[in-house]
Amino acid sequence: MKAIPTSFLPARYPSVNRRSRASKAKFIISALEDLIGEVPIPLRHQDPFTLLIAVMLSGQSTDAKVNQITPDLFTIASTPQEMASLPVATIERVIRPCGLSPSKARNIKATANILVNQFESQVPCTQQELESLPGVGPKTSQVVLAQSFGKNSFPVDTHIHRLAYRWGLSPGDNVTQTERNLKHTFPERLWSRLHLQIIIFGRTYCPARRHRPPDCPICHVVGRQSLKPS
């Protein structure tokens, strides 16, 4: 876990009411801006289609591993038409290091075919249409909406789910509930930015294992408290 920068001084923030959602949100937004700031899109891509494929590959894998694999994949197929023409076995061979390659390869091939035949080879820009594609769930669809189409969305992955529970912003029952809680907590205009900031914060300061709340720049301030409406 990275040490807290000396420039980060939580004492200069207004006192945080641990039972107030609004108070916690205000502190978290400010802390993430100070500690993380602007976050570039982590998955390398050229357009909505290559981002969609990269996000599909990222399930049960890492951004670093996906970024190692996609240049080889996109060299042979970077459009829906090209991907639809590839045998599933070829896709699977290229993406094998990402894990779950048989199912991912089938979904990628099927998605490419649907884009060609039903969407004029264009990635749709609504959540409902995106989630009609094989292997595309709420997280993948919202990442594409935010990062390719500039729409406000709050995709919840395991990092965000874990931190929302630690910060007392969600009971941690499931990612759907966490998404609802976070969208209720934070201003819509910040959803996409906070999504990336929280992921990087979790990796940098608030890991899943060997986490020490007193050493975490956010956990030690907001803690876990049941929330009153605010």
Q: What is the CATH number of the domain that holds 195?
A: 1.10.1670.10
Total domain count, the chain? 2
Residues 36, 52, single domain; the answer is no
Active-site annotation holder among 139, 151, 173, 215: 139
Residue 15 burial by CB count (10 A; 0-12/13-18/19+): exposed, middle or buried?
Answer: exposed
Task: Say whether pLDDT at 40 is over 70.
Answer: yes
Instruction: Identify the domain containing residue 181 by its residue range.
Output: 13-40+154-222
Q: What are the tens digits of pLDDT across the range 116-171?
A: 999 999 999 999 999 999 999 999 999 999 999 999 999 998 889 999 999 999 98
Q: pTM of the prediction?
A: 0.85
Q: What are the tens digits of pLDDT across the range 70-123?
A: 999 999 999 999 999 999 999 999 999 998 999 999 999 999 999 999 999 999
Contact criterion met (CB below 8 Å) for 143 and 48: no
Residues 140, 178, single domain; the answer is no
With both helix axes pointing from N to C terminus, report the angle between 63-76 and 88-95 in degrees, rounded to the nearest 10.
Answer: 140
Active-site annotation holder among 63, 151, 157, 183: 157
Distances (CA, A) of 55 to 14, 72, 112, 145, 172: 38, 16, 14, 12, 24
Look up 24 and say whether it is catalytic: no
Residue 210's pLDDT band (boundaries 50, 70, 90)?
confident
Look up 26 and say whether it is catalytic: no
